[in-house]
Structure 1
């Protein structure tokens, strides 16, 4: 059964599950960049029924190279073959409905959503409002750990459905695309830098803090409001490149644009952690 995408509300998911004919794979992507074990511990204390835990470092990222953050950033994309194998192990086939959520406003669920779309998987949605919205809607909580049955056949490799842009292309043609940076304003300006080697941003980039995509209840703003925000940048979606600190929260802006009907923008996967670690690349502040 096709999911409403790219977002699904908690009441809509509850209604689909209540029919007894809908069996999605649910991914709990909760995480904390300051404590890589916190999300898994929270999963053990309660999650959506039947949910598998998807760890940002182990499952939703590839290994760092020997050169560290210079090549690929703090959360490099996994090899497509490796992520396809992960989907197979989770019991996901090409037509399996997948719902991703987290308890942090959606950035890690958006990373999972983007990765599945990158592999060409279309039947995937993010639970709007995450765990809090599920509980507010009266959804039950499960405390059992779930070991999924692998899919019957390996997940097939298909053409990527989500474009990426490397640092070299941004350097070679800086005016060819608008870079939108999802980090907090103080990090974008270069006032502080708690994680990466230099403070600042890619010259010419604009800032859209990913948390500003959310209403006070933790759900995404209505599509028309998001459309106005991103259309105000004055650039067609195909000429937009999203980045953040390490290619994770940028997916939140990509998801917001898709929810607003503005699909087609690209991700710079290495983001600021890759860009700033090479002293030859230009840096802007302010």
Structure 2
């Protein structure tokens, strides 16, 4: 596997080499503590329903200001974490990728803050930072796709459409032919990190989500898509895409839904 998802030990050996980003709320970062050297970029600051180019993106200018203000440059390695198994942190990484950050320099901490704090020191000191130049450009050729792409994928035997919502949501209506994969199935509640590679691959193969196919993800929350997308990147899946429009939008554009009720 790659180092898209990295262990606490991996990070502990590289704290001076990477930029660690805590996406929890400011009160958690300040009051509970954080990984030494981590800067705070709260989840709500890099998402928007109206200001971005597509989906829940915050807009290129806003994102560049956020990261530049905490000292992160365009070519820096980033390790992101939260305290919710990585589902919020993954969204920061996907956002950075969509704005042109080299995907090979984007890493998700396996586990979360609670898991880190069990074995490693934490800090309550905000590190000094110097503003950096963070240049962005929204990738029109990136993995974020529109309705037309989804419509074409429905009848494509080489594409598997994956619904990352909960079971009741899926049963009420889903894109025709979609299989369901709840992102939490990939996470071990005891360790707070990912299940073993063999277990995750078994879960994926049961649903015919294989590296040989193009995988198209969708959900009604960007963070759940982002976590599954990040795990699939970590496993080396070469052809990934995701749709962030709501199913309400899908139906408004003439798309049909299947139901299991």
Q: Which runs of 5+ in 2 are unaligned?
A: none
Q: Tell me what 1:115 maps to.
A: 95
2:248 & 2:130 partners in 1: Cα distance?
36
Q: How does 1:49-198 map to 2 (within 5 A)?
A: 49-59=36-46, 61-64=47-50, 76-118=56-98, 119-121=100-102, 122-137=104-119, 139-145=120-126, 148-151=129-132, 153-155=133-135, 157=137, 162-176=142-156, 177-190=159-172
Moved over 6 A (4+): none
Q: 1:147 to 1:214 in 2, by over 3 A?
A: same
Contact 1:100–1:112 (Cα < 8 Å) also in 2? yes
Which string of whole-angstrom CA distances, capped at 9 and with x for unpartnered residues, describes residues 78-109 of structure 1? 33454334332232223312110010111111
Decide whether the 8 Å contact of 2:75 with 2:101 is kept in 1: no
Q: For residues 105 and 128 of structure 2, what CA distance do their matches in structure 1 show?
A: 22
What is the CA distance between 1:242 and its match in structure 2? Answer: 0.9
Asked whether the 8 Å contact 1:72–1:274 carries over to 2, the reply is: no
RMSD over aligned Cα atoms = 2.7
2:19 equivalent in structure 1 = 25
Deviation of 1:129 (Å): 0.5
Q: 1:212 — aligned with what?
A: 185
Q: Give the drift of 1:131.
A: 0.5
* 1:248-259 map, 5 Å: 248-259=223-234
Calculate the TM-score normalised by the size of structure 1.
Answer: 0.76
Q: Provide the TM-score with structure 2 as the length reference.
A: 0.83
- Indicate whether 1:6 and 2:16 are aligned: no
Secondary structure of the 1:11 match is: helix
Structure 1 runs not aligned, ≥5 long:
31-38, 66-70, 191-199
Cα offset for 1:268?
0.9
Deviates most, 249-258 or 112-121: 112-121
Q: Distance in 2 between matches of 1:120 and 1:113?
A: 9
Is the aligned partner of 1:222 residue 2:181? no
Q: Note if contact 1:27-1:51 (Cα within 8 Å) is conserved in structure 2.
A: yes
1:42 alignment partner in structure 2: 28
Larger helix share, 1 or 2: 2
Q: Post-superposition shift, 1:222?
A: 1.9
